[in-house]
Structure 1
Amino acid sequence: MAQQAAEAPEVIAAAASDFGERLLQDAERVTQGVMQPWNAWQVAILFGAFALAHLGRAWLGPKLHDWMRKRSGWPRWRMRYAVTLHRRLRAVLFVVLAWIAVAVVEQLAPLGGAAVLRIVANLATGWLFVALVSRLISNPLLRGVVRYGAWTWITLRILDLTNETARLLDSLSIDLGDLRISVLLVLKAALVLGVAFFIARLLARTSAHRIESNREISPSMQVLAVKLSQLLFYGIAVFVGLRAVGVDLTGLAVLSGAIGVGLGFGLQKVVSNLVSGLIILLDKSIKPGDVISLGETFGWISTLGARYASVVTRDGKEYLIPNEDLITTQVVNWTHSDNSVRIDISFGASYGEDPHLVRRVSTAAAAGCTRVLEKPAPVCHITAFGDSSVDYTLRFWIDDATAGLTNIRGDVFLALWDAFKAEGISIPFPQREVRVLDGSALRVAQPAAE
C-alpha cells in the first residue's frame, strides 16, 4: 500500500506529461494545417456556413414559431421537442450546410480532401445529437451530467485523444482495500448510470401509464404496482450500471450491512411508515379518492406515497399524514365499501305543533335538496321531549361525500327554515325573564360627572 502511494505521483505525472505532449502535437499540427491554403479555404467555408445558418435562423425562426403556436392540440412531449428544435435551429442548419459542404468539396477536389470540414461536421453533428437526446431526461442534474459527459467523450473520440485522456484519468485514483476508485471509473459510472436511469425512467413511465389506464385494477393496487415497478427498474439500473463499469459489488456487502444496521436504528419511523404504506396498499383499506376523517381532519385522499398520504380538505389545505397513523389510529373512511353516507341533523319544534306535520314537512324539505338521495328516502324521528321543545332527528343519505358534508347540512337546515316558515311551525328558543321582587331596591348607576 505504501509503495503504491509512493508511485502514484509518478504515474500521474507521466500520464499528464503524455496528455500535454499529445495536445501540443495536435495543436501544432492543426496550426500548420490551417496555414496551408486549401485548409484555410475549408475554414473560410465553415465561417460562411455559420453565417448562412445564422441568417437562416433569423428568417426561418419566426415562421417556425408562428407555425408551432397553431399546434395547440399537440402532446406535451412533441411540443417540447419542437421548442428544442426551434432553439437549436441555427445548429441544425449549420450541420446540414457543413455536410453539404463536405459532399461538394469532395466532389470538386477529391485530391485535396475535406478533412477539416469533415472533423467540424462530425463534431457539430455529435453535439447536436447529444443536445436533442438529452432533452428526454427530465432531471436537470442528470441531464447536465449526461450531456456534458457525452460532449466531452465525442470530442475526444473524434480528435483521437481517448487513450491519453483515459490513462490520465485512470491514474487519478484511490485504493480502498481491494476496491480501486479512479476518476475514469467515476466518470464512466456517471455516464452509464445516467443512461441506465434514463431507460429505467422511460420504462417506469410506460408501465405506470399502462397500469393506471387498466380499469380492472383497483386504485390501491395500481399505486402498489407502480411503486414496485419503479423499484424494480431503478434497482436493475443501479446493479447493471455498476457492473458495466467494473465495480465489484461483493466488496460493498460488509459496508452496506453496517450501514443498514445503523439506518435500522436511526430510521425506525421511516421504515415503519414504508411498511405501513405497503400494508395499506395490500389490504385496500384506503385508496386514492376515499373520503376519510382522522381526528379533526376531514378530506379526501389525493395521493398515497411511500411515507405519507396526502389528504386535501374542503378549504384547500393539504395534510401529509404518515402512513403509520393510518394504521395505528382510528380512521373513518366514508367511502370504503360504499359511496352512500347517512347524515343526521337535530332540531326542535314547540309543544304546540303537530309532530306528524313536523315530520312530514321536514322529510319533504330534505327531499327537495338536490344532493339528497331519493332512496333511501329521508326519515324524521322524535328523539326526546326537551325542556322547551320536542326534539327531532332528521336522517338523509348522499352519495357524494367528496363534495362536502357541512354544505349539505346547511342546505337542509335552510330548507327546514323555509318550510317551517311557510307552514307556520315555530322553532322554540330559550327565553329568560328578570323579576324584581317586592321590597327590593333597584338602583340605577348614575353617569360620572364630566
Structure 2
Amino acid sequence: MEGQPEIVTQALDYAQQGWDIARTWLMSPAAWSQFGLLLVAYLAALLVSRRLRPVLTKLLTPPEGQESLIATARRFVLLFVPLVLPLLAYVFTGIGESVTRSLFGSGAVIAFGKRLFLFLAARILVKEIIRDPFLKLLGRYVLVPVMAIYAVGLLDDLTTKLSETVIRLGNISFSVMALVRGVIAGAVLFWLGRWSNNQSTAFIQSQEEMPPATRTLAQKAAEVAIFGAAFLLLMNIMGISLTSLAVLGGAIGVGIGFGLQQIASNFISGVILLLEGQATVGDYVELDGGEAGTIVKMTARATILETYDGRWIVVPNEHFITTRVVNYSDSGSANRYEASFSVSYDTDINKVPGIIEKAVGDLDFVLAGGKDGERDPDCELRGFGESGVDFAVEFWVNGIDDGRNKFTPRVLFAVWNALMAHDIEIPYPRRVIEMRSADSDEA
C-alpha cells in the first residue's frame, strides 16, 4: 500500500484495528459472555418497555381540551415515551457491565453495547420525537452521524484530529474543531433564541391590560435581549474574547457614519414611536406623502400599513417622526363624516333638517350626545344648485368609513327612505331645448 494518499492509509489502519478487535472478541469467552449479557439486557428492556409504555402513556395523557401548564408539561414528557426501550437497555447493560468487569476484568463489548443503545436512542429521537424541521435536519446530519462515530469508538480520535487541524487566514487562525463547534452551537443557540422569542412574544401579546405600544416595545426589548445573549454565549463557546469585538464595534460605527445613517435613524425613530405611543398597531393613519392604511406591524426599520384593498405599504419609521401624520384612531376612534343630497325647489326646506336628523339619529352606528350635543346628527343647508336645493348631513361614528365599514352608504339609504316617506322629491337635471326653424331665422 505504499504511495497511497494519507487518508487511504489511515482508513485502512482503522479497518485493520477494527478487524483485530472483532477477531479478539470472537475468540474470547469473556467477549461471548458480554454478548450474551447484551442480548439479555435488550430482551429484558423489550419486555419491560412493552408493559411500561401503555402505563406511561395513560399516565401522561391529559384530559382532552385541558390547556393548563401541567397539561402542557405532560404532553411534552409524553413525546419521549418512545425512548423507554433504548434507555432501559442502556441501564440494564450498565448493570451487566459492573458484573462482567468484576468477573473478567474487561467490559469492552458491554461498553460498545451501551454506546450502540445510545445511538439507537438518538435515531428514535430524530425520527419519531423531533417535529421542528430545522432540529430534525440538524439531528439527521449532525447528531446521528456523531453518535454513530461515538458508537464505534472513533469520536475521541476524530475530535483530536480536528483540533490539530488549524486554518490560517492572515493573522487569524482557528482549528476546524472550533469552527464545527461554532457552527453547531450557533445553529442551536439561534434556533433556541427564535423559539424563546416566539414564546415571549405570545406571552406579551396575551397581556391585554397593557397598552398596544407598550406590548410592542416589550416584545422588541425581549427580542434584542434574547438574541444579544445568544450572540455573547456563542462568542464564549467559540473562545473569542469579547474585548476583540471593540474593533468590530468601531467598524460598525464608521459604517453607520458613512452609509447606515438611514438604518440607524429608522431604528431610533421606531423606538421613539413605541415609547410615545402616538401610532401603534391597529391605528388607521395617513401620512403627508399620501400613504394611508391600518398599521399591522411595526419592525425595527419600518412600519407596515395595510390598505383596504389588501395591499401592504412599507413606510420607514423616520417618516412618522419627520412628516405630518394624521391618526384617525388616536384618542378614541370617533370620526365625523357627511353625506350630501339635494331636494326639489318645490319642497318646504324648513322641514328637511328635522326629518333627516331624526332618520340618521335612529341608525345604530351613529353616535349622539357629547358636549352640548356636538355629536348629534346635523343637517345643514349648503346652497342652491341648478336643479335643486343642496343639503349635507354630518354624523359621528366609531371607526373609519371604508373597508368593512360602509357608514355613508347606509346614511344615504336612510336619507332616501326618509325623503320618500315624506313625499319629498329628489331632483334630477332638467334642460330646456329651444328649436328654431330656418324660416323663423330668415324672418
Matching of residue 336 in structure 1 with residue 335 in structure 2? no
2:410 matched residue in structure 1: 411
Question: How many equivalent residue pairs?
Answer: 424
Further displaced range: 255-264 or 364-373: 255-264
Matching of residue 320 in structure 1 with residue 289 in structure 2? no
| Alignment equivalent of 2:367, drawn from 373, 397, 403 | 373
Further displaced range: 166-175 or 143-152: 143-152
Q: Distance in 1 between matches of 2:336 and 2:143?
A: 63
Match of 1:426, SS state, is: coil
Matching of residue 95 in structure 1 with residue 87 in structure 2? yes
1:446 matched residue in structure 2: none
Matching of residue 168 in structure 1 with residue 153 in structure 2? no
Residue segments in structure 2 that go unaligned for 5+ positions in a row: 370-374
Task: Describe the superposition over 1:85-118 as per-residue Cα deviations: whole angstroms up to 9, x where unpaired.
Answer: 66x7654334335534654797799736876455
Offset, 1:232: 2.3
1:360 matched residue in structure 2: 354
Q: Distance in 2 between matches of 1:354 and 1:34?
A: 117
What letter is aligned with 2:281?
A: P
Offset, 1:290: 0.9
Q: Distance in 2 between matches of 1:417 and 1:223?
A: 46
Q: Distance in 2 between matches of 1:239 and 1:412?
A: 61
Contact 1:146 1:195 in 2 (8 A): no
Match of 1:111, SS state, is: helix
Matching of residue 285 in structure 1 with residue 278 in structure 2? yes
1:395 matched residue in structure 2: 394
Mapping 1:32-43, distance limit 5 Å: 32-33=24-25, 36-42=31-37
1:431 matched residue in structure 2: 430
Q: Distance in 2 between matches of 1:98 and 1:228?
A: 44
Matching of residue 29 in structure 1 with residue 6 in structure 2? no
TM-score with structure 2 setting the length: 0.75
Q: Distance in 2 between matches of 1:365 and 1:115?
A: 94
Q: Distance in 2 between matches of 1:166 and 1:51?
A: 34
Offset, 1:428: 1.4
2:190 matched residue in structure 1: 197
Q: Distance in 2 between matches of 1:131 and 1:231?
A: 35
Match of 2:365, SS state, is: coil
- CA RMSD across the alignment: 4.6
Contact 1:378 1:397 in 2 (8 A): yes
Q: Distance in 1 between matches of 2:233 and 2:34?
A: 46
Offset, 1:422: 0.9
Residue segments in structure 1 that go unaligned for 5+ positions in a row: 1-11, 442-450
Q: Distance in 2 between matches of 1:18 and 1:244?
A: 31
2:299 matched residue in structure 1: 305
What letter is aligned with 2:20?
A: E
Q: Distance in 1 between matches of 2:223 and 2:258?
A: 26
1:225 matched residue in structure 2: 218
What letter is aligned with 1:438?
A: S
| Alignment equivalent of 2:241, drawn from 241, 248, 264 | 248
Offset, 1:350: 1.8
Q: Distance in 1 between matches of 2:439 and 2:423?
A: 41
- Percent identical among aligned pairs is 27
Q: 1:357 to 1:24 in 2, by over 3 A?
A: farther
Contact 1:142 1:194 in 2 (8 A): no
Contact 1:273 1:324 in 2 (8 A): yes
Contact 1:292 1:332 in 2 (8 A): yes
Q: 1:169 to 1:399 in 2, by over 3 A?
A: same
What letter is aligned with 2:353?
A: R
1:180 matched residue in structure 2: 173
Q: 1:260 to 1:149 in 2, by over 3 A?
A: farther
Further displaced range: 137-146 or 294-303: 137-146
What letter is aligned with 1:410?
A: P
What letter is aligned with 1:354?
A: D
